[in-house]
Structure 1
Amino acid sequence: MAASKFDLWLIDKLRSLKTDESVFGSYISGILEGEDTVDEKRDALEDILSEIVKKDISIHVQEILEKWEECQPKKEAAQPATDVDSKLAKLLESQTLATTTRREYTDEEKKIREAILSQYSQLSDNEEDQAQEEQNESPDLVKNTNALDVAAAARERREQARLDAQKKKEKDKEDREKQKQLKEEKKEKRKTQKGERKR
């Protein structure tokens, strides 16, 4: 799937903040695509960006939210109900409605008509009984859970992205600690070597 205008912008934005756009980008997109309110999205974005940057967090969050809104397809404004009602009324007025004339049936035609109607009503009753029997035979109809499945999958993706971001943060922290420790050890070695040279 091709990256959207917003995705491309977000990648550049995260690169400018010197962070891993693949981990944080998917997590931020997951938050924005969710069903949460704008305030909930803002809070979640502030939490994430607080891990990336130390200052101007609210400015970055506002910029992301504005760009997201700008890149969303515009929804057509709904026509007022009165407009639809008035159009329907005009349409009905312009059409000429066919009027039916009542036909008088002879006694013989009435008997035939009643026989046909009674035959169809019996068939209808039999069909209803048959449908009821079929329903009783298979009461375990499968419930459609597509919407629930999609929501659960989206929730799972967001959670996975959050966990990935947390792991990356912890790994980065460990790497910084190791680098700091190696620097200290090198510093100590140099001090020791200088001390030995002086003797």
Structure 2
Amino acid sequence: MATATSDFEPWLSEKLKSLKTDEGVFGSYISGILESEDSVDEKKDALEGILSEIVEKDISTHIDEIIEKWESCRPKEEIPKPVTDVDVRLAQLLESQAPSTTTRREYTDEEKKIREAILSQYSQLSDNEEDVANDDEAASPDLVKNTNAADVHAAARERREQARLDAQKKKEKDKEDREKQKQLKEEKKEKRKTQKGERKR
């Protein structure tokens, strides 16, 4: 994914600059969406939500352009050659089933709170997923459930949620700044009117 990032990030940065928006905040949020394991339709929906905050028209054109560029920058995965040797296939199968050890990352209190809020929001499994999970547990009570994919998915969602919150904060701050500038203009205008009135007397 390194080559995808090295080609895509600068392009996205320029694209966001051309749309007159903060490429630092929105760029990381858009990259997080594209790097997720969501379907293309889900990615398009998420991008539409962001771009509707930035531009008013041609949103679908911008979305298609971003996804097309992302796809072209991603390295093509090599298709593995079929293995015919039974011994080699058996060895690969045994390797894939070997228990993996992972190290746990320690989170700060603030990160834990954010993580818990996000996980609780997305922790509701559909009935089908719950049934599959229950079947797996019943079939192999001695095996430890591998949660790597779920952890990676949750971390990606966490990053996207944080980026969305940052973007929202920036948007609100920009709005406040515009209001303050507008108010200052009004005050100066009133002051000038008052001064003109005093001079006429």
TM-score normalised by structure 2 residue count: 0.64
Question: 1:89-168 to 2 correspondence within 5 Å?
Answer: 143-168=145-170
**Identity between Structure 1 and Structure 2 (%):** 79
What residue is the counterpart of 2:65 in the other structure?
63
**1:146 Cα offset (Å):** 2.5
What residue is the counterpart of 2:21 in the other structure?
19
Which structure has the greater CA radius of gyration?
1
1:9-39 residue CA offsets vs partner (Å, 9 max, x unmatched): 1111111212111110010001111122212
- List runs of 5+ in structure 1 lacking aligned partners: 89-138
CA–CA distance in structure 2, aligned partners of residues 60 and 43 of structure 1 = 13
What residue is the counterpart of 1:126 in the other structure?
none
Runs of 4+ in 1 over 6 A off after TM superposition: none
Alignment coverage as a number of residue pairs: 144
**1:71 Cα offset (Å):** 0.5
Question: In the superposition, relative to structure 1, how do residues 40 and 140 fare at CA in structure 2: closer, same or farther (>3 Å)?
Answer: closer
CA–CA distance in structure 2, aligned partners of residues 148 and 39 of structure 1 = 20
CA–CA distance in structure 1, aligned partners of residues 194 and 171 of structure 2 = 35
CA–CA distance in structure 1, aligned partners of residues 46 and 57 of structure 2 = 16
What residue is the counterpart of 1:73 in the other structure?
75
CA–CA distance in structure 2, aligned partners of residues 167 and 29 of structure 1 = 19
Aligned partner (choices 35, 38, 59) of residue 36 of structure 1: 38
**1:156 Cα offset (Å):** 0.7
* SS of equivalent to 1:188: helix
**Does structure 1 residue 177 correspond to structure 2 residue 179?**
yes
**1:78 Cα offset (Å):** 6.8
AA aligned to 1:167 is: K
TM-score normalised by structure 1 residue count: 0.64
Question: In the superposition, relative to structure 1, how do residues 24 and 143 fare at CA in structure 2: closer, same or farther (>3 Å)?
Answer: same
- List runs of 5+ in structure 2 lacking aligned partners: 86-140
* SS of equivalent to 1:4: helix
Over aligned residue pairs, what C-alpha RMSD do you find?
Answer: 2.5
What residue is the counterpart of 1:188 in the other structure?
190
**Does structure 1 residue 54 correspond to structure 2 residue 56?**
yes
CA–CA distance in structure 2, aligned partners of residues 142 and 169 of structure 1 = 44
AA aligned to 1:176 is: R
Contact 2:36 2:153 in 1 (8 A): no
